[in-house]
Amino acid sequence: MIRINLLSARETEREVGRRAEGRLIVLGAMLAATMLLGIEVWSRMRMIPVRAEYADLQAQVKVLDTKTAELSELQKNKAELDEKLKTIGSLQQRKVGPANVLADLSDAAPEHVWLLEFTEDSGAATITGFAFDNQTIAVFMRNLGTSKYFTDVDLVETTQTAQKEIQLKKFVVKARLSYTGQPLSPASPDLKYPEPPKGGAPASKGNRV
C-alpha cells in the first residue's frame, strides 16, 4: 500500500509561493529605489546648468553694482565740478560786470550830461547827475534803457540848480541792474521822460514822471 503525504506537498507549494512573493517585494523595492535614485540624479543634472546660470547672473549683478557705484561717483564728481565752474564764472562776472556796467553808463550819457554819483544795492541802481535841460535827461534815460545791464529806467527827481551862475537840472534816475549782462528788453515804450518846462519854469523837487 502506497501513501502520499499531500500535506507536505501543500506546505512546499506555500513555501515556494512565499519565497516568490518575497523576491517580488525585494525586486519591487529595488526597482523603486533605482527609480528614485534615477530621478535624484536627473534632478541634480538639471540643476547644474541652472546653478551655473544663477552664478553667472550673480556675477553680472556684482559687475552692474560696481558700475552703478562708479556712475554715481562720476555724477557726484560732475555735479561738484559744475558747481565749481558756476562759482568761478560768477566770480569772473563780478570782476568783469562792474566795468562793463560803468562803460555802458558812460556811453549812455550824451553831451551836456555830467554824472555825479552811481550807487547799487541788491540790484537797485541810483544815478545822480546834472544836465542842461529835460530833453538831455530824456536822451540819457533812453540810451540807458537800451543797455543790457539796465531795465525799468525811471526818473524820480529833478531840481533846478545853479552851478557857477549856470542854470542846470539836477536829476536822480533809478533802474534795475544786472551785472550778468543777460539780454534784456530795451526801455519800455511807455516810459515817461521829463518834459521841458513850460515858459521856462523849473521842475519842482520830487517831480515824478
CATH of residue 155's domain is: 3.30.1360.100
Integer angstrom CA distances of residue 25 from 17, 33, 39, 46: 12, 12, 21, 31
Q: How far is CA 110 from CA 126, 132, 177, in A?
A: 18, 11, 20
For 14-60, the pLDDT digits (tens) are: 766 677 777 778 788 888 888 888 888 887 888 788 788 888 888 88
- Name the band, by pLDDT with cuts 50, 70 and 90, for residue 108: very high
Domain for residue 192, yes or no? yes
Residue 3 is predicted with a pLDDT of: 55
**74 or 42, higher pLDDT:** 42
Q: Look at residue 16 in the predicted model and tell me its pLDDT.
A: 64
**Least confident residue range of 37-51, 80-94, 109-123:** 80-94
pLDDT at 72 over 90: no
CA pair distance 205, 151, nearest whole angstrom: 24
**68 in a structural domain:** yes
Q: Note whether residue 177 is domain-resident.
A: yes
Q: What is the pLDDT of residue 4?
A: 53
- Is position 82 within any domain? yes
Instruction: Kindly state whether residue 46 falls inside one of the protein's structural domains.
Output: no
Does 43 map to a domain?
Answer: no
Mean per-residue pLDDT, 135-154: 93
pTM: 0.46
Answer yes or no: is 45 within a domain.
no
**Is residue 32 situated within a structural domain?**
no
Domain span holding position 176? 52-209
Mean pLDDT score of the chain: 76
Strands 166-177 and 150-163: antiparallel
Query: Helix (H, G, I), strand (E, B), or coil: what is residue 170?
Result: strand
CA–CA separation, 191 and 143 (whole Å): 13
**pLDDT given at position 185:** 47
Structure confidence at residue 2 (pLDDT)? 54
Which of 94, 108, 95 is closest to 147 using CA atoms? 108
Number of domains the chain is built from = 1
Task: Report yes or no: 104 and 133 within 8 Å, Cβ to Cβ.
Answer: no
- Looking up cell 537840472 gives 169
Query: Where is pLDDT greater, at 96 or 28?
Result: 28
Q: What is the pLDDT of residue 209?
A: 33
